[in-house]
Amino acid sequence: MNAHLIFIFFFLSSLLQDGLTESVFTGPEGGSVTVRCLFNFSGWKKLFCRKSCEDGDVLIETEDVSAQRDRYSIEYKEGTFPEYSTFVHVTIKELKKSDSGKYTCGLKRTLRPDGNVRVEIIVTDASPSSTPSRPVEPSPTSLPAATATAPTSSSPETSEQSSAPQMAALLLNVSFIFILIITLSVTVMAFCRIRTSKHTG
């Protein structure tokens, strides 16, 4: 009985872990990129690491809602499961070609498993007309960099783009709850059948 409960606990915990998909973000060399990490649950400590946070290669970490260190800045927006997701935004300025690679957004938790969302950053070649200083009006060649920066709530298009991930996260969380209910129901039914068959035997 105890072994069954332990198995069910670890199985359900694995279902509720973050980081099911890996997102790719691009930014031009010399420019900036903002990485958007989505979590199902909130946490108290936020980390951004090169490759894996377990390796100790932490680029920035904080217990506050925002922080800055060298070229890296981090912002935290807490949500409430299952209606709203929790987001960690990390911005890297003055991008270099060596910044291309795999990263991990980490979220330390107290009662739940820690969250880890893996992302990939691709640094593209800077356009010949671009300069390190940001122009007053964006040119057509700078549109990919603009899509990688953090969205603002001033334009209606941006609000529609930000509502799409919220809806996807809501559907994902609802599917998690549905899977949990089915799994628990099947487990209880199997346990009752085994127990009934033992009594009958």
Mean of the pLDDT values across residues 145-160? 41
Query: Tell me: the pLDDT tens digits for 79-105?
Result: 887 778 899 999 999 999 999 999 999
The position carrying tokens 């958007």 is: 36
What is the spatial distance between Cα 59 and Cα 72, in angstroms, rounded to a whole number? 7
pLDDT of residue 135: 42
pLDDT of residue 154: 41
Is the pTM value of this prediction over 0.75?
no
Residue 121 has pLDDT above 70, yes or no: yes
What letter represents residue 128's amino acid? P
Query: Tell me: the pLDDT tens digits for 183-197?
Result: 767 676 777 677 676
Q: Report the candidate in 26, 122, 38 with the shortest Cα–Cα distance to residue 82.
A: 38
Three-class DSSP category at 191: helix
User: Which domains does the chain carry?
Assistant: 2-200 (2.60.40.10)
- Residue 120: burial class (beta carbons within 10 Å; 0-12, 13-18, 19+): middle
Query: Tell me: the pLDDT tens digits for 161-182?
Result: 444 555 555 555 555 565 667 7
